[in-house]
Amino acid sequence: MNVDLFEKIPNNVNLSADKRLQRALEQWLPNYLSWWREMGPEGFQEDSIYLRTAVSVEPDGWAHFNYVKMPEYRWGIFLEPKQEGRTIGFGDHYGQPAWQDVPGEYRTPLRRIIVTQGDTEPASVEQQRRLGHSAPSLYDLRNLFQVNVEEGRHLWAMVYLLHSYFGKDGREEAEAMLERRSGDSDKPRILGAFNEPIVNWLDFFMFTMFTDRDGKFQLYSLAESGFDPLARTCRFMLTEEAHHMFVGETGVDRVVQRAAELMLQSGSDDPEAVRKLGGVPLDMLQRHLNLWFSVSEDLFGSEISSNAADFFASGLKGRYKEAQYEDHIALDKHYDLPVPGEDGRLASTSVPLRNAMNEVLRDQYVADCQRAVDKWNRTIERVLGERGAAHRLRLPHRRFHRNIGAYSMAAGYHFDPDGNPITAAEFAAQRGRWLPGPEDRAYLQEIQKPVLEPGKIAGWVAPPARGINGQPFEFEYVRHGT
């Protein structure tokens, strides 16, 4: 596909052929830039950042690296090439030609899906806007800004669909995405995890590890959509999303490595020994892991969901890599789910598979998260040797600390990290052991001072194994204040 990089809005959708759409998006552009300057990274807008910019949709050469000031980044609209003859791969329309236009009967739910996905993109930029002032290295600062500008491009991808296929309603929805604010009491972002404050780099690494990983699975399921423009949009977004998860997974791994190194240096397994040396002890890491994993699990929705069933039946949202399944209709199968009864005890319930599609997607997510936690535990054991077995990190049970679904605390249910039912009083008594508290936040703020010299790094995190795009760690990834 031809990529026009020199238009006001870079694109590979032949935007200039639709003058009305082009004008509408060019009118939206100043509002976007105004939002970016107000809510984007604070204090670094005039710095030159070593960023990658999409220049192609081909997997062997889709990005170009160079110094760019973030407000001048070439945000654009990129869809993967159209597959001629593509058919819908699941649901009641299985085997029928994929839709190139919005089916009238699915207009409202499809718009809802696009708006919900689109709203997460600017939200994360807003959550992270002040993190640059405590960056542990120029390498990490650059990665933060790469994540930010690509979340901005993902917003453009969703806005293009709204403008192109949903008329006046779509234009109004696109404007609203620039009006909502993460954490705002009057106009919050749509999904709860995107209203959580990200005030330190441990939160950021956990967010990009767990919350962006939710994004991966949501995008994969939308990449199966019978609405072909959405599927093509999400397939290219996944190319960029991989770096965001890399930042999170390797970022946590580097914090884990440094904690283990300080345990080895101190000769003590006491978390206080790591704190005295300015590191992040593993029990504090575990509390943040518990928080962000549970908050991100809520993003999949309720375990039993008529909306999920409708989205699947309608061909709007499939499963993760739908081709791996033999049955793409999912009418006759069931999913066994333990749910709390009136007495609070868990009892197995057989749920029609279509109604359990959120849980099917969550299963894949949990398995992927476990793979990363296993990697972090190998790092602990590599540094500490036999001592490491006593300090393994773990995923809490999926019933722990949930705010949405069958195990929701709002419905009066509470579970410990092993998934056992407990009372609200018991949960409150143990909350400080299981989730980050004010003391954790204060300590992290104390140790996370900015390190903005090339080749230097804060003492609470290990340096990366390699740099970006073949550059060394010592490379000047951000030219700050020049």
What residue segments make up the domains of the chain, in order of their start? Answer: 15-479
Highest mean pLDDT among 14-18, 228-232, 341-345: 228-232
Q: Mean pLDDT in the chain?
A: 96
13 contacts: CB under 8 Å, gap ≥ 6: 77, 79, 160
Prediction pTM value: 0.96
Q: With 70 as the cut, is the pLDDT of residue 322 above it? A: yes
Phi/psi of residue 333, nearest 5 degrees: -100, 160
Q: What gap in Å lies between CA 167 and CA 371, rounded to an integer?
A: 43
d(CA 169, CA 161): 12
- Distance, in Å, from the CA atom of 295 to the CA atom of 318, rounded to the nearest integer, reads 23
Fold for 15-479, please state it. Answer: Ribonucleotide Reductase, subunit A (1.10.620)
What is the distance between the alpha carbons of residues 155 and 213, in angstroms, rounded to a whole number? Answer: 17
- Residue (of 246, 277, 256, 251) closest to 198 by Cα position: 251
pLDDT of residue 5: 81
Contact, 478 vs 49, CB < 8 A?
yes
Place of tokens 């998860």: 245
* The two structure tokens encoding residue 248: 């999170």
Structure confidence at residue 62 (pLDDT): 85
- Split at pLDDT 50, 70, 90, the class of 2 is low
Handedness of CA 261, 265, 267, 270 (dihedral sign): negative
Residues in CB range of 329: below 8 A, 6 or more apart: 90, 91, 92, 94
In sequence order, the β-bridge partners of residue 66 are 51
pLDDT at 474 over 70: yes
Percent of the chain with pLDDT over 70: 99
Straight-line distance from the first to the last Cα atom of the chain, in angstroms, rounded to the nearest whole number: 38
Per-residue pLDDT of 238-292, as tens digits, reads: 999 999 999 999 999 999 999 999 999 999 999 999 999 999 999 999 999 999 9
d(CA 75, CA 174): 16
86-134 confidence digits (pLDDT tens): 999 999 999 999 999 999 999 999 999 999 999 999 999 999 999 999 9
pLDDT at 337 over 90: yes
Whose structure tokens read 């008329």? 167
Per-residue pLDDT of 419-466, as tens digits, reads: 999 999 999 999 999 999 999 999 999 999 999 999 999 999 999 999
pLDDT at 482: 63
Q: How far are the Cα atoms of 262, 380, 385, 446 from residue 259, in angstroms, in the given order?
A: 5, 9, 14, 16
Alpha helices of 4-44 — where are they, by DSSP H? Answer: 19-39
Residue 287 to residue 342: CA distance in whole angstroms: 30
**How many C-beta atoms lie closer than 10 Å to residue 66's C-beta?**
10
* Confidence (pLDDT) at 344: 75
What average pLDDT score do residues 307-331 get? 97
Indicate the DSSP class of residue 423: -
Q: Find the Cα–Cα–Cα–Cα dihedral 411, 416, 422, 423, rounded to 10°.
A: -60
Residue 7 pLDDT greater than 80, yes or no: yes
Residue 402 backbone zone (phi > 0: left; psi -120 to 50: alpha; other: beta) = beta
